[in-house]
Amino acid sequence: MIAIIEKLLNEQVKYEALASMQYLAMASWADCNGYNGVADFFYNQSEEERMHMTKLVKFVNERGGRTIIPSLAQPKLEFSGLSELFSTFLNSEETVTQHINEIIYECLKHKDYNVHNFMQWYVTEQLEEEALARTLLDKLNIIGDDKSGVYLFDRDILEINLNKDE
Ligand code: FEO
């Protein structure tokens, strides 16, 4: 495996792990603040990111590289409300996308079509997750301070989880 690509894939393991821990912290915050639907949503997202991370770990090791399991900084624990929670979600996904794009760039530069092909799954995943984060943030902006709107948002987000699990 090309050294720079191996390094970037290892960094990607860390970004996916950070996203997983951040979403776990967000799920826990939502749980403690009475947003059970939002909590389920982020518990689920946290699991997905862990799966993204593990997929990378296995890929690097299978291709003769070596994964270095990273240490992680503490995620953000406190949020002013759902808008900040979902802004954090969108920012996190945008950051992950940027790093994936860097990997794609290096793959093309070094003609590593094998890793390029593997990374296409992540490109598609990021498109979906960023779109979802934007949609949810748009909904929250419409709802504003309307308490019954927030109640319905927390209830309806459960549907997204159910659809994702199908
Ligand atoms: Fe795996 Fe949503 O980044």
Asked if residue 161 has pLDDT above 80, the reply is: no
Residue closest via CA to ligand 1's atom 2 equals: 93
Residue 96, ligand 1, Cβ within 6 A: yes
| Reported CATH class of domain 3-164 | mainly alpha
- What residue spans define the domains of the chain? 3-164
Residue 17, ligand 1, Cβ within 6 A: no
pLDDT digits (tens, 9 = 90+) for 131-143: 999 999 999 999 9
Phi-psi region of 140 (alpha: psi -120 to 50; beta: other; left: phi over 0): alpha
Residue closest via CA to ligand 1's atom 1 equals: 49
Residue 112, ligand 1, Cβ within 6 A: no
Residue 16, ligand 1, Cβ within 6 A: yes
Please state the pTM of the whole predicted model: 0.94
**Please, how many CA atoms are within 13 Å of residue 30, restricted to the half-sphere of its CB?**
27
pLDDT digits (tens, 9 = 90+) for 50-103: 999 999 999 999 999 999 999 999 999 999 999 999 999 999 999 999 999 999
